[in-house]
Chain A
Amino acid sequence: MHEAVVDPRLLPVLLSGYTLSLIVPMLTRLLRQMTGWFLALLPLALFVQFLTMVDAVASGQILTANIPWVPSLNVNLSFVVDGWGLFLALVVTGMGALVIIYASSYLQGHPAIGRFYTFILIFMASMLVLVLADNIFLLFIAWELTSIASFFLIGFYHEKEQSQKAALQALLVTGSGGLALLAGFVGLTAVSGTASFQEIQAHSDLILQSPYYLPILALILLGAFSKSAQFPFHFWLPNAMAGPAPVSTYLHSATMVKAGVYLLGRLQPTLGQSSEWFVLVTAVGAVTALLGAWLCWQKTDMKEILAYSTLSALGTLVLLIGLGTELALQTAVLFLLVHALYKGGLFMAVGIIDHETGVRDVRQLGGLWRQMPWTFTAVLLATLSMSGLPPFLGFIGKELMYETALALPRYAQLLTGVLLLTNMLMVTAALILLVRPFFGPPQEAHPHHKTAFNLWLGPVALGGLALLLGLLASTEAIGESLVAPAVSAIAGGELHVHLALWHGLTPMLGLSGLTLLGGVGLFAVHRRLQPGVVRLDTAVRRLGPERWYGWLLDGLLRLAGWFTEKFQNGKLRYYLLYVLATTLLLVGGTLVFRAGIAWEALTLTPLRLPELLLAAVLLAAVGVVVQVESRLTAVAALGVVGYSIAVFYILFSAPDLAMTQFAIETLTVILFVLVLYRLPRFDQFSSRRTRLRDGVVAVFVGLLMAGLTLMAQSVHVRGASALADYFIRSTEPLAQGHNVVNVILVDFRGFDTMVEITVLSVAAIGVYALLKSRTFHLERVRAEQTAVAEQPSPAEPILPQKEAH
């Protein structure tokens, strides 16, 4: 069994990214071009930190840290480093370092490079929290933070319309999925009674037998699928390639899109024991894998090829986790690493080609291997790993894939077929990426300068790693220390992983050979088939999920427009009417039909003469307000109403309220006078009928408020006979104050007060902005008028050329 050890390093490690992101703007100004290297030190240091944890985790420990955050809501800063989380943390920090170095050159001289660093660091820190969170709500928060960082990074070139649209689309799709995920998490917590992944896992039978199992599963899958761009949510990922190359490399291929895969792995032991899970996850994964591969080999834009092949790889990962056998999980873990290494390298390399030549279309590129030797080396290494050639890590990944599929108890042939076809198309894509830009006759587009070291460092390092890890695969370092703990964190129990390049003459080897042959064959004919396939796909696309997204978005905007036009037509009196009528219906309805007033619990004091007199004054003043023709009189009468109420407060010994009421009334009169100044003459705008309607609504609202007060008086709270008694008794012991009213305001309901002053501030700024925009407008009109007046008349044109003579 796993042994939990508290690790004090965890919290600083996880929060350092956020801290550093805060001072980035200052650093970019101070360090200028060295900023990238300096910032890359952080992920590098974190990578080393995580490496030192590998041994402990491999020996069966799990490292934890826990700080209560909102314990009453089960939200805590609790982290767990187990094999699966650590594995991803290594990918996140390792790739992070390389990507930041790469970006420092790729975006060199861009005015907003500081913003890029800020968001990439926020993203990295959030991704680390995501993969190491033990609390599911903490994971959710990190999940959303990565979506937000992704939004800003996709939209980095925000002046381009395409970037804006792609950023919004990614945010809306993953954000909606995030909401579903939250609902699923709430369900999971409600059923299992805990928000810790570790404990939820222990209650998996409880969740499986719950009647809410299916809705919970569906909601969580929606979240995971939209994040990992599974069919039918896949369309946002290729569009997200509008972001700069380092963003595509890091977020949209190596890490963020793996968040869904990570979560599926994390929840596989909890939710994965049902046939619904098996069918849904496997089928969606298989469809995405095939769809991505199919769309991938017909593209000519290299970044698009990479985007769709990433889709395919994500589909394969989801498929493997859906299968859930120990071998499948082992394959998933290894393939995740394989994919991160080759795809990260390829994205960076394609970024270099784009950066140096300005072209990404393979039809306009050729013979680059001589001019771009380092990029060529990187692409060669990456594509060989992608095609699954020995001795690359990709070869082992593919062998394991086939071994998994062949050993399945059900659907073995079908899934082997799916994987075979997907892998063949991947080989074709790899060949397109390798052969077309680098071999053949040189084309028009050529690199403008030598590739900078910062640029080729990342892709070459990743390609080299793919080769090195392949060669070292049979040693303990990979199988036993990295893959086995990750698999055992998902599948539970201790297990051993032995990877090897040579298994002997097995069916898997045969399938690998077949994959290569098929891939090369398809590459040979792809130039001829490509136009036809593209035409077919354009036709299908018209009905595809991206169109559904468009329809949904349009519909939503139209609904919002209709709603605004209907209910917010700019006439304040209607707003007021809607608000009051709704309150009457909902609150009044509840009061009359559901709650009621416990009359017998009320102790009403008998009426006294001063109260009667005051009530008469009040009513008379109200009568004046609604009847008079002069505005000033109305305001004065309104003041009488307000002051009379204040006197009521005094009669019932509430000096606080009375004082506040007096002050408010005074200031209201001042404000009224200031506004009245500006209004046109007092006219009757409304008909008799509308005034009657408004009067009825007003009377009922008044009755409702009186009813609510009486109801509150009749309620019993915690043993006290009424609210008032409770507060009078509890104020001193609980809040150390004698003034009940103020203690309620700043202590018992202090949170409400804080929100109220916020609302007040927003309202004031709104009023201010409205007034100032008018003044601003007036000033501009005046300025234009003077400008027109000062302009020389066209009869005497000034000719400056004459003075030059």
Chain B
Amino acid sequence: MRSLILTTATRYLLPLMLLFSVFLLFRGHHDPGGGFIGGLVASAAFALHGFAYGMPEARRVLLFDPLKLIGVGLLTAVSSGLVAPIVWGRPFMTTIWSQTSIAALGKLGTPLMFDTGVYTTVIGVTMLIILALAEEDGDQEEEAI
């Protein structure tokens, strides 16, 4: 069952929500937002897309396998902690900030890298479960037919 309203709305909502999630990620250090909430918003966007167009389509839009997203996310988070000991010889997870700020993004630093890791992991985790559950349903529907 496809709803025309849902599919049309989703077509515009998906890019907007994804943009919004990245926006949340970047502004997190100074204003409401952050990697966790950003990741949730992005997941909600993909889930919505899935409900409108079917889960295989959501998987295609996601581009990456959720399992890989989890791995990459965790690796990014851990690496952000390793920057300080490897480059500056400071203890693990000491935060390092750039001195100059970049247009639209602001100052870059290891907390942002860490938050990006959280963002990626959250998308991976949420989508892994949602896709697995929804595709289970697909199986059952087929069985019912």
The winner among B91, B124, B136 for most chain A CB atoms within 10 A is B136
Stretch at the interface among A102-110, A231-239, A755-763: A755-763
Please list the residues of chain A having a beta carbon within 8 angstroms of any beta carbon in chain B. 68, 70-72, 655-656, 659-660, 663-664, 666-667, 670-671, 674-675, 677-678, 735-739, 741-743, 745-747, 750-751, 753-754, 757-758, 760-761, 763-765, 767-768, 771-772, 774-775, 778
Closest to B120 in A: A757
Please list the residues of chain B having a beta carbon within 8 angstroms of any beta carbon in chain A. 24, 28-37, 40-41, 43-44, 47, 51, 67, 70, 73-74, 77-78, 81, 89, 91, 93, 95, 97, 107, 109, 111, 114-115, 117-118, 121-122, 124-126, 128-130, 132-134, 136-137, 139-140
Residues of chain A lying within 8 A (CB to CB) of residue B132:
767-768, 771-772
A663-B44, A675-B133 are contacts. A761–B125 as well, Cβ < 8 Å? yes
Q: Are B95 and A738 in contact (CB under 8 A)?
A: no
Provide the main secondary structure of the chain B interface.
helix
Q: Are A745 and B129 in contact (CB under 8 A)?
A: no
List 22 interface pairs A-B (beta carbons < 8 Å), by A numbering.
A71-B91, A659-B32, A660-B40, A664-B40, A667-B126, A670-B51, A671-B129, A671-B130, A674-B137, A678-B137, A736-B95, A738-B30, A738-B31, A742-B28, A742-B115, A746-B35, A754-B78, A757-B117, A761-B121, A761-B125, A767-B128, A771-B136
Shortest beta-carbon distance from B136 to chain A in Å: 6
Which one of A656, A736, A750, A774 contacts B32 once the chains associate, using CB atoms below 8 Å?
Answer: A656
A663-B41, A746-B118 are contacts. A764–B70 as well, Cβ < 8 Å? yes
The winner among B24, B29, B44, B107 for most chain A CB atoms within 10 A is B29
Complex CA gap A568/B100 in Å reads: 54
Shortest beta-carbon distance from A681 to chain B in Å: 16
A655-B32, A663-B41, A754-B81 are contacts. A674–B134 as well, Cβ < 8 Å? yes
Q: Are A742 and B47 in contact (CB under 8 A)?
A: no
Q: How many A-B residue pairs have CB under 8 A?
A: 141
Shortest beta-carbon distance from A775 to chain B in Å: 6
Which one of A671, A761, A767 contacts B74 once the chains associate, using CB atoms below 8 Å?
Answer: A761
Residues of chain A lying within 8 A (CB to CB) of residue B78:
754
Shortest beta-carbon distance from B120 to chain A in Å: 9
Complex CA gap A659/B41 in Å reads: 9
Complex CA gap A754/B136 in Å reads: 30
Shortest beta-carbon distance from B94 to chain A in Å: 10
A742-B28, A750-B81 are contacts. A735–B121 as well, Cβ < 8 Å? no
Shortest beta-carbon distance from B106 to chain A in Å: 10
Q: Are A742 and B74 in contact (CB under 8 A)?
A: no
Complex CA gap A765/B68 in Å reads: 11
Q: Are A765 and B121 in contact (CB under 8 A)?
A: no
Closest to B89 in A: A68
Q: Are A747 and B111 in contact (CB under 8 A)?
A: yes
Residues of chain A lying within 8 A (CB to CB) of residue B109:
736
Q: Are A754 and B95 in contact (CB under 8 A)?
A: no
Residues of chain B lying within 8 A (CB to CB) of residue A739:
28-34
Complex CA gap A735/B93 in Å reads: 12
Q: Are B130 and A760 in contact (CB under 8 A)?
A: no
Residues of chain B lying within 8 A (CB to CB) of residue A677:
137, 140
Closest to B111 in A: A746
